[in-house]
């Protein structure tokens, strides 16, 4: 397949662009609550190491781990060294590793123990002196959601969230942010009693992926696409977030959450809003998020009757993936053997605004699907057929633009071209752009950009309170109907397939079908 090329930069200019230095982040101390957990081990520590490799960590920097595990400071440092050696890209830069470890500290305690926050406060004051940090603190809550409000309240009581001129305090909150609309509103109220909105960074690691960030650049920096990005030219949009893995060791959490709660209000609706939003007046954080919020508010929450025809749920049975037999969801560890929790969701969404009227957005996500892939497909309307009526061509295909989010980040475009020969025949041509081929690759966990943005105060890629609540307002009606009407046919798709047949029927009723993912 031919690769997409550009006449904007030649190879040497691309190399120069890659060498441009991003300014180092603000001097600060990062406090990780849940520092002994899997997220810290696999993502946060390797991401900080990668930022150090890119020379964007501040020289005046320290990390404080806060967790319940019985660890001494040296044991915590030894653990982090092991984490870096296991999960950071090879070869390991031991000088950088030692530099990080010298700035690594540990507080052992229960998140509910008020006295431990006094210990934390004293340690932070000591580290400000030792590492010449100016009182800037970034708190990362890598903990269960039931601790979010409690930790924030303790920090507030100890004046650890108070800001003064020249000194910032920010809190990063992982998902899930609530379990429905009412719980999300309640959590927002509790946290906002202590923090201002500009101090809150509700993180979604999907937005750390290059292709997600590139959606705005692709749409608004290329004059050939923005004029056709509307209902006049686009037939429909598909968003697929597929995982080949099952629930693994997360059965306890997942059986209470399910695919709808776990993926749609955050990851998927973020992708939808970036794809559908109007041009912002700037790339400032609130300008971008204002337009995202407008899209989320324009998505019409389904009525109970519409849930029955526009929402599909599924649960995987045993099956075969990559030649290996895998168990049914109900046989997974920590899962109720009679569970009615969905592991697959497909929805048809309607955006009630001028640009997208009558253009359906179809979304699907699930576990134990044939492959791990996340992509956004823009299917354009067919060209008028009149010109080809007296030729062998009996059907014109759709043009497709596919933004590949993972695992291979890039963009592909499919269009029709004449097949060589004496008669007029049209065949599909694919033009593929892959980030790794054109710009090379850098080690990434998906958290590097997000952590850096937290340190420099750029909230563009983080959800605001109104966005979180708008997302939950879309899915809560579905949750309510599904709670009232338990499924009768679970499990209803085999592992290694693309979900239940009802998901295909969702689009077939509209004369459409899901893009075939190879």
Residues designated as active site: 267
Query: How far is the C-alpha of 65 from the C-alpha of 33, rounded, in Å?
Result: 6
Query: How far is the C-alpha of 271 from the C-alpha of 375, rounded, in Å?
Result: 9
Can you list the alpha helix ranges (DSSP code H) found in 44-180?
45-53, 73-87, 94-102, 114-131, 148-157
Q: Which long-range contacts (CB under 8 A, 24 or more apart) does 420-425 make?
A: 423/391, 423/392, 424/388, 424/391, 424/392, 424/393, 425/392, 425/393
CB atoms within 10 A of CB 295: 23
Q: How many residues does the chain have?
A: 518
The alpha-carbon radius of gyration of the chain (Å, integer) is: 24
Contact between 486 and 308 under an 8 Å Cβ cutoff? The reply is: no
| CB neighbour class for 470 (10 Å; exposed up to 12, middle 13-18, buried from 19) | buried
Contact between 142 and 39 under an 8 Å Cβ cutoff? The reply is: yes
Q: Which residues contact 290 (CB under 8 A, 6 or more apart)?
A: 280
| Ramachandran region, residue 515 (left: φ > 0; alpha: ψ -120 to 50; beta: rest) | beta
Give the DSSP letter string of 319-336: EEETTEEE--GGGSTTS-
Q: Is 10 helix (H, G, I), strand (E, B) or coil?
A: coil
Q: What stretch of H or E contains 471?
A: helix 465-484
Distances (CA, A) of 349 to 166, 238, 239, 299, 311: 44, 10, 11, 7, 9
Contact between 451 and 47 under an 8 Å Cβ cutoff? The reply is: yes
């Amino acid at each position: 397949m031919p690769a997409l090329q550009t006449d904007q930069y030649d190879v040497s200019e691309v190399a120069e662009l890659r060498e441009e230095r991003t300014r180092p982040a603000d001097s600060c101390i990062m406090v990780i609550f849940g520092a002994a957990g899997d997220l810290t081990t696999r993502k946060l520590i390797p991401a900080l190491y990668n930022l150090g490799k890119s020379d964007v960590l501040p020289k005046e920097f320290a990390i404080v781990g806060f967790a319940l595990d019985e660890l001494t400071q040296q044991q915590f440092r030894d653990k982090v060294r092991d984490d870096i050696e296991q999960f950071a890209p090879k070869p390991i830069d031991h000088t950088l590793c030692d530099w990080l470890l010298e700035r690594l500290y540990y507080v052992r305690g229960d998140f509910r123990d008020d006295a431990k926050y006094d210990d934390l406060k004293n340690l932070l004051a000591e580290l400000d002196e030792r590492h010449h940090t100016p009182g800037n603190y970034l708190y990362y809550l890598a903990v269960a959601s039931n601790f979010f409000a409690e930790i924030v309240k303790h920090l507030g009581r100890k004046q650890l969230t108070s800001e003064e001129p020249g000194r910032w305090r920010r809190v990063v909150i992982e998902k899930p942010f609530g379990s429905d609309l009412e719980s999300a509103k309640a959590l927002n109220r509790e946290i906002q009693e202590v923090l201002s909105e500009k101090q809150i960074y509700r993180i979604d690691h999907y937005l750390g992926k290059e292709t997600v960030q590139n959606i705005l650049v692709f749409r608004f920096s290329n004059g050939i696409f923005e004029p056709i990005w509307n209902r006049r030219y686009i037939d429909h949009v598909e968003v697929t977030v597929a995982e080949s893995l099952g629930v693994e060791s997360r059965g306890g959490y997942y059986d209470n959450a399910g695919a709808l709660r776990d993926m749609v209000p955050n990851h998927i609706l973020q992708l939808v809003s970036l794809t559908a939003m109007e041009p912002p007046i700037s790339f400032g954080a609130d300008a971008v998020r204002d337009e995202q919020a407008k899209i989320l508010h324009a998505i019409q929450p389904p009525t109970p009757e519409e849930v029955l025809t526009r929402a599909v749920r599924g649960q995987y049975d045993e099956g075969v993936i990559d030649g290996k037999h895998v168990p049914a969801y109900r046989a997974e560890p920590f899962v109720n053997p009679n569970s009615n929790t969905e592991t697959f969701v497909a929805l048809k969404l309607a955006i009630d605004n001028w640009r997208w009227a009558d253009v359906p957005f179809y979304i699907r996500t699930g576990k134990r699907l044939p492959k791990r892939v996340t992509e956004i497909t823009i299917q354009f309307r067919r060209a008028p057929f009149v010109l080809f009526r007296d030729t062998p061509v009996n059907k014109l295909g759709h043009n497709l633009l596919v933004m590949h989010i993972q695992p291979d980040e890039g963009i592909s475009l499919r269009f029709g071209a004449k097949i060589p020969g004496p008669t007029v025949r049209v065949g599909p041509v694919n033009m593929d752009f892959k980030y790794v081929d054109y710009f090379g690759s850098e080690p990434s966990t998906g958290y590097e950009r997000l952590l850096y943005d937290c340190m420099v105060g750029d909230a563009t890629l983080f959800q605001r309170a109104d966005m979180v609540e708008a997302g939950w307002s879309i899915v809560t009606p579905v949750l309510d109907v599904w709670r009232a009407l338990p499924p009768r046919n679970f499990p209803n798709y085999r592992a290694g397939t693309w979900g239940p047949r009802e998901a295909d029927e969702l689009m077939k009723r509209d004369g459409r079908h899901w893009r075939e993912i190879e």
